Structure 1
Amino acid sequence: MLRNYFKIAFRNLVKNKVYSFLNIAGLSAGMAVAILIGLWMWDEVSFNKYHQNYDRIVQVMQHVTNNGEVQTWPNTPLPLAEELRKSYGSDFRYVTVSQEAYCILSYGEKKFSKKGAYFEPQITEMLTLKMLKGTRDGLKTPNAVLLSESVAKTFFGEADPLDKILKIDNRTDVKVTGVYEDLPRNSDFHDLTFIAPWQLYYTTNEWVRTMPDPWRPNAFHIYAQLIPKADVAAVSHKIKDAKLNRVSKELARKKPEVFLHPMSQWHLYSEFKNGVNVGGRIQYVWLFGISGLFVLLLACINFMNLSTARSEKRAKEVGVRKAVGSLRAQIVYQFFVEALLMVLFSFALALLLAQLILPFFNSLADKTVSIPWENPWCWAIGLGFSVLCGLVAGSYPALYLSSFQPIKILKGSGFKAGRWAATPRKALVVIQFTVSVTLIIGTVIVFRQIQFAQNRPMGYDSNGLVVLPMYTSEIHTHFDAVKSELTQSGAITEIAEAGSPPTENWSSTSTIEWKDKDPNLSIDFQVITVSFDYGKTIGWSIREGRDFSKKFSTDSSGLILNEAAATFMGLTNPIGETIKWYGAPYKVIGVVKDMIIQSPYQQIKPTIYHLTTEPGGVMIVKINPLAGAQEALSKTETVFRKFNPAQPFEYQFVNEEYAKKFDNEKRIGQLATFFAILAIFISCLGIFGLASFMAEQRTKEIGIRKVLGASVANLWQMLSKEFVILVLISCVISAPISYSFLQEWLRKYTYRTELSWWIFVAAGVGALCITLLTVSYQSIKAALMNPVKSLRNE
């Protein structure tokens, strides 16, 4: 019997090819999106679960009050680690200090710059590294290094790397004591390509050993592992004054409050505002999850709409079946099997679509997810959902139509659709287009917000600006010779050193004093150390005063402020004002236009520029516009290798680094576009099917109207009017929903676009045009039909 059910179901699918295609195409598209979103969400919520101690690892962070607001810093002072061990050790199994670093690793002629970190030895147990060579005890040797599997292969190929000697930054020999498995992309330590002992960093960096006040520099990360029974909130409360009780009165004004941030929240709950955790990427998990759910809902609505619409044509079939002896249960089973077969076809096609789209989706979402074909839970969830969808979609024809009496059906009086029979389908169409229009409006607003921030003046000229990281001091030592050769070669027009790139800031200070400053005010100013010609190189704009110049020997004790700093200090005439920094007097020689250094969506922070003769963290060059970029970089590489052959030549274009600040929002916009297109596509499939069904139902009516003189335009209007009304209702519903949601989303940006009324109108008009295009094919086709054929009796 079951075999017979499937055979009849398959014949019905083949017989109604258009209906079957629309149903399967729409549902499979929705299912494919649900699969991709499900994989993305699982990757997000399972972040860091690679580490077996995931639920007990924490990062020690602090809230501090600066510039009148509570800021949250992941960086902490070095002595805090020992304070936690000594005074609160009963709550911790491990406490380890860390310093991330980009270093040159070299072995013979091979030299690469890699990102790694200096850790205390217990980090290997905390992160439960999977050792491929050596043991987790490898860091207990002072001059040791652990390499990731990929880095080990880069240097040594298939040879055994253990006990090989590498150099760090061309000055320190280290022995390879272990190789660990590359950490996955969904780990916050995924780019940890090497690990060296903290003691090695301490002994090779004099500034760490000779800090006048070790509690002042917040330059280190501290990670810890709690004992099994410890509660994160309780331990955070216990240690909150661990720093406050040890610092000077000046630093105590910052009201430092130490707390623990658990690894389970690092990825999804990483944003703090005024000392309160306000979420983070979790909002995107919800956003994408809801979007995927809505796209799937649209597909299911299509499926149910078309299934119920077509089932009304099968009333006589039910009557005949019952007349020849079929039981109601057999008819119920038949309809359920047909729905289930269609859903299973859709699920199989959805898996194929998801696999084909996955590379594009990974590129769009910046992921490396894959379908876990071997995971039984995934199959169980997918098949379970398919069965549920089939049961829901088949419930109307199965339970409703099977209840009719065969005599009444065959006489033509047992099945009358009635005035309200189509109401549920109309409501579902309204839901479909409400979701679609909302997604369209959301996509437009996301891209307008990106455009709004991109149009914000940067404050300097990034065209042709290239940053070259400096790991050693050779280029600084030969700076004049390097500049001379590069200028004479025509590769560049300007070159300067700086403590950080124009798109980042690596230093700040709270030891600034000025006239009329509130003695109780705690501050935090960005500090950027620069060389002569820095301003000329990046093309900043001097608002008042002048730039640093070699003509003035006193510029070594001069400062340049940005507009935000001058405004914050309340300096109406800043030029010539005396500012004390670490107690030493400095003169303000200039004020520059505010430059966007960090987020383009937030307020610019007070910044001071200080002239220094020490080596900078980066070199910045301005490429000669008369020379091609590749030619200029090739000449620059030749000169740099001449004076510093031990360092790999690396560079970043400033405009590309600045563009990366918009990556997150661009990714949201691209995914929103993807979802909006799919939502519209699925909704149009459903409307196309319903329009076809309505035209088929009204064939004789159309024929009579044509005989009585109705034009094609009249008939098109009659058949399209209903769908236009439904879409207009959808637009009215979606407008307040999208406005409320997007207004809330935009609030997190200090600089944000406005929700203009024309966006809502344009989205509605767009949806209306798409609907008319979809419906017009069936409407015009029905209107052009020969009335003789449509009025002919069966």
Structure 2
Amino acid sequence: MFKNYFKIAWRNLLKNKGYSIINIGGLALGMAVTLIIGLWMNDELTHNNNFENKSRFAQVFQSQTFNNNTGTGPAIPLPLEPALRERYGDNFKHLIMSSWNTSSYIKYGEVNLSRLGNYMQREAPEMLGLNILKGEKDGLREVNAIMLSASTAEAFFGEINPIGKTVRISNEHDMMVTAVYEDMPYNCSFSDLDYIMPWDHYYNTQEWMQNSNDNWQNNSFQMFVEIADNTTMEGITNAIIDIKKNADEDVVQYNPRIFLFPMDDWYLKGNFENGVQTGGRIRYVWLFGIIGAFVLLLACINFMNLSTARSEKRAKEVGIRKSIGSQKGQLIYQFLSESFLVVLFAYIMAVIIVLLCLSGFNDLARKEIEFPWTSSIFWLISLGFVIFTALLAGSYPALYLSSFKPVDVLKGTFKAGRYAGLPRKILVVVQFTVSVAFIIGTVIVMQQINHAKNRPIGYDREGLIQIPTFSQDFNGKTDLMREQFISSGAVVEMATSSSPTTRIWSNRSGFTWEGKPDGFQEDLAWTEVSAEYGKTLNLKIIEGRDFSREFASDSLGVLINETAKTYLGMENPVGQLLRDTDEEDPSPPLKIIGVIEDIIAQSPYEPVKQGVYVYDRHDNFSYYNLRLNPNQSANQSIAVIERVFKENFPAIPFEYDFVDEEYAAKFAAEQRIGTLSGIFTGLAILISCLGLFGLTSFVAEQRTKEIGVRKVLGASVFNVWNMLSKDFLKLVVISCFIAVPIAYYVMNGWLQEYPYRVILKWWIFVLAMFGAMGVTVLTVSFQAIRAAKQNPVKSLRTE
């Protein structure tokens, strides 16, 4: 019986090749989009799934409040570790202190490369579940040990066994390789862990760390934990939440709250606003999930529309089948088998499309997704997906066609009825409502990105490069390097800074000034710079002046940004002093010598943070900032800069970043979302137009004789085009009026997450409406004009 169903279904597909191509092609596109989105969502949702103990893994976070604004992050003080071990040690299976992800220069023989890694405590390899390929798992027990990832070991040693070999770190310390571990997967929070070095080595070589043993205000560290089996995240958080507040009276004013942030939330729900977790990337997962579902729905609507539109042609078939004994259920099975066959072919095509597009999609989405050929779960889900889609696409046509009365059909008195086309019209409205909403959403996303991109950033990023200086070799050579770089002709100015231009690495408090309100809790972004920083970046001085080597007093000078001027409540800040409130070891007061235009150093979608730029008196810098000579090519200048660099630092690899590229990276996530949304929106419109094209061609075919009569009676091509087009155009206009308020509500809510955001303009909605109507006219016109130009003699010949 089922074999017969599929045989008839196959014949029907061959008999109506045009409609079959539209049906299968539209469904294939819709299913391909859904498949790709499904693979992307799976990759997002399985982030960090390589950790078997993921549900018990957490990072220690801290919230602090400054002037009723609560900030939350992973930075914690050093004395928190012994406090947790002594009082709550039984609650943790592992408790690991870690540095921030650090770039180090590693040298072995002639190979000298920069790699990212962490200093971690001894239990880190066990807690992270590292797969040790060579050496021993307890590879951090010696203070001069280093563990390397497999790719890093291969880069330095090739086929040579690295265990026991000595590498030079930042031209300062010799470390012995004790283990090689398998690289962490790319969709893991530790994917860039190229090396691990002992925490004790970090502590022993950094005097500032040793001075932080009892300092609860120096939040310069991070901590990872695995909780014990008989505990919960919530229970431990409730126990430790006030541990910092109880340990140091000086920090009580900031209301510090310590809590465990589960690994399950690191990647997808990592955003906090005023101390409250507000989501994160999870919103994009749901967004694309909704897009995938709607795109599939659009493709299914095409199938429903074309199947029911051809109802009169299938009516006699239904009548004959029923008259010779076919039951309604058998007819339903027959039509569902046709649906299943179409969906099966569409799925095979969709898989082919996905395979062809997956590499490009990975490049665009910055993923390494592979097609899961060997996953039995994937194929079971695929089978369910095919069955679900077949039922979704075929249920309405099956129920509709199987309900015809055989007597009316065979007498020739069957009429589709006045409202028979109403469901198809509703489905067309749904299709274009979704498509128009997608268009509006994509335009607004791109507008928001461009709005932030066009925001004044306070400095000239073109022709500006930064060179990392993570080695003691750079100390004491700033003036020499500046002189050599400028004299080479490749650079017009150079300055140092304690953080990159596009980031804030340090925040300070503990200052007082004239007119400071009682109880005011300052939080200032802190950057130490050399005298030429303003000239190198082409900063705009609003008040006062820039740093100058001609004034010895500038060694205690400070520049503040416009936001800091308002934040500190200073009408005339130039000449005022910022005094240290540390009574035991106060620093000299800092004199404000100038106010600069706000520099965007954090997210371009957020307000600029109040910042101070302090003259660097102690070689406390991490970057050289170089302004390239605009009169010669960048490549030529870089080559000269590299030569000068190598002459002075032969043991350190030459690395640099263009600041404009670093700044552009701040838009990467939103840019990818906007691009992907645009692609999916285009496919949604294409699928909708495919359905419209099929419906138009069928309507034109149904009304062939009517068109012939009208032409004989003098109707023009325009009259015929207008007759066939106006009904579809009305449906699209209705769709627009439904889509606009929905899109406005959704996108306005999305924009509320950005303090610095675009204002929704009326023309965006009008443009989307006219765009949808224009596409409709073009799609319908092809078939309408084609039908209107046919010779009426041919269409009337059989009358």
TM-score when normalising by structure 1: 0.97
1:308-338 Cα distance to aligned partner (Å, 9 max, x none):
2223311112333445565655544332222
1:27-426 pair list within 5 angstroms:
27-100=27-100, 101-211=102-212, 213-249=214-250, 251-323=251-323, 330-413=330-413, 415-426=414-425
1:724 pairs with 724, 729, 742, which one? 729
In structure 2, what is the Cα distance between the partners aligned to 1:657 and 1:474?
Answer: 25
User: Are 1:471 and 1:647, in contact at CA under 8 Å, matched by a contact in 2?
Assistant: no
Q: Following TM superposition, by how much is the alpha carbon of 1:405 offset from its aligned partner in structure 2, in angstroms?
A: 4.6
**In structure 2, what is the equivalent of residue 477 of structure 1?**
476
Aligned sequence identity (%): 50
One-letter identity of the residue aligned with 2:292:
G
Residue 591 (structure 2) pairs with residue 587 (structure 1)? yes
**In structure 2, what is the equivalent of residue 688 of structure 1?**
693
Partner-residue secondary structure (3-state), 1:139: coil
User: Are 1:475 and 1:482, in contact at CA under 8 Å, matched by a contact in 2?
Assistant: no
Mark the CA change 1:525 to 1:236 in structure 2 (over 3 Å): closer, same or farther: same
Q: Following TM superposition, by how much is the alpha carbon of 1:518 offset from its aligned partner in structure 2, in angstroms?
A: 2.6
**In structure 1, what is the equivalent of residue 684 of structure 2?**
679
1:734 pairs with 735, 739, 742, which one? 739
2:787 pairs with 766, 782, 787, which one? 782
Mark the CA change 1:400 to 1:148 in structure 2 (over 3 Å): closer, same or farther: same
Decide which moves more: 269-278 or 95-104.
95-104
In structure 2, what is the Cα distance between the partners aligned to 1:245 and 1:264?
Answer: 29
User: Are 2:308 and 2:400, in contact at CA under 8 Å, matched by a contact in 1?
Assistant: no
**In structure 2, what is the equivalent of residue 602 of structure 1?**
606
Mark the CA change 1:205 to 1:124 in structure 2 (over 3 Å): closer, same or farther: same
User: Are 1:474 and 1:643, in contact at CA under 8 Å, matched by a contact in 2?
Assistant: no
Partner-residue secondary structure (3-state), 2:104: strand
1:456-482 Cα distance to aligned partner (Å, 9 max, x none):
111011111100000123344233332
One-letter identity of the residue aligned with 2:644:
V
Partner-residue secondary structure (3-state), 1:253: helix
In structure 1, what is the Cα distance between the partners aligned to 2:27 and 2:55?
Answer: 39
One-letter identity of the residue aligned with 2:354:
A
Decide which moves more: 257-266 or 124-133.
124-133
Partner-residue secondary structure (3-state), 2:592: strand
Mark the CA change 1:635 to 1:143 in structure 2 (over 3 Å): closer, same or farther: same
Partner-residue secondary structure (3-state), 1:245: helix
**In structure 1, what is the equivalent of residue 432 of structure 2?**
433
In structure 2, what is the Cα distance between the partners aligned to 1:511 and 1:392?
Answer: 64
One-letter identity of the residue aligned with 1:577:
Q
One-letter identity of the residue aligned with 2:135:
G
Decide which moves more: 782-791 or 70-79.
782-791
In structure 2, what is the Cα distance between the partners aligned to 1:109 and 1:310?
Answer: 75
One-letter identity of the residue aligned with 1:789:
K
In structure 2, what is the Cα distance between the partners aligned to 1:590 and 1:574?
Answer: 8
1:389-538 pair list within 5 angstroms:
389-413=389-413, 415-538=414-537
In structure 1, what is the Cα distance between the partners aligned to 2:625 and 2:320?
Answer: 85
Mark the CA change 1:619 to 1:765 in structure 2 (over 3 Å): closer, same or farther: same
One-letter identity of the residue aligned with 1:216:
Q
**In structure 2, what is the equivalent of residue 707 of structure 1?**
712
1:232-254 Cα distance to aligned partner (Å, 9 max, x none):
122111111111111242x2211
One-letter identity of the residue aligned with 2:247:
R
**In structure 2, what is the equivalent of residue 7 of structure 1?**
7
Partner-residue secondary structure (3-state), 2:215: coil
Mark the CA change 1:212 to 1:379 in structure 2 (over 3 Å): closer, same or farther: closer
In structure 2, what is the Cα distance between the partners aligned to 1:747 and 1:686?
Answer: 36
One-letter identity of the residue aligned with 1:357:
C
1:31-77 Cα distance to aligned partner (Å, 9 max, x none):
00111111111111111110111000111011101244111121000
Q: Which runs of 4+ in 1 moved over 6 A?
A: none
User: Are 1:104 and 1:168, in contact at CA under 8 Å, matched by a contact in 2?
Assistant: yes
In structure 2, what is the Cα distance between the partners aligned to 1:65 and 1:776?
Answer: 63
Q: Following TM superposition, by how much is the alpha carbon of 1:94 offset from its aligned partner in structure 2, in angstroms?
A: 1.4
Partner-residue secondary structure (3-state), 2:549: coil
User: Are 1:490 and 1:627, in contact at CA under 8 Å, matched by a contact in 2?
Assistant: no
Mark the CA change 1:357 to 1:751 in structure 2 (over 3 Å): closer, same or farther: same
Q: Following TM superposition, by how much is the alpha carbon of 1:403 offset from its aligned partner in structure 2, in angstroms?
A: 4.5
One-letter identity of the residue aligned with 1:459:
G
In structure 2, what is the Cα distance between the partners aligned to 1:398 and 1:538?
Answer: 69
Partner-residue secondary structure (3-state), 1:78: coil
1:644-683 pair list within 5 angstroms:
644-683=649-688
User: Are 1:447 and 1:666, in contact at CA under 8 Å, matched by a contact in 2?
Assistant: yes
User: Are 2:559 and 2:612, in contact at CA under 8 Å, matched by a contact in 1?
Assistant: yes
User: Are 1:36 and 1:354, in contact at CA under 8 Å, matched by a contact in 2?
Assistant: yes
Where structure 1 has 5 or more consecutive residues not aligned to the other structure, the ranges are: none
**In structure 1, what is the equivalent of residue 774 of structure 2?**
769
In structure 2, what is the Cα distance between the partners aligned to 1:439 and 1:44?
Answer: 22
Partner-residue secondary structure (3-state), 1:184: coil
Number of equivalences: 792
1:579-604 Cα distance to aligned partner (Å, 9 max, x none):
10354322111111111111111111
Residue 618 (structure 2) pairs with residue 614 (structure 1)? yes
One-letter identity of the residue aligned with 1:522:
Q
TM-score when normalising by structure 2: 0.97
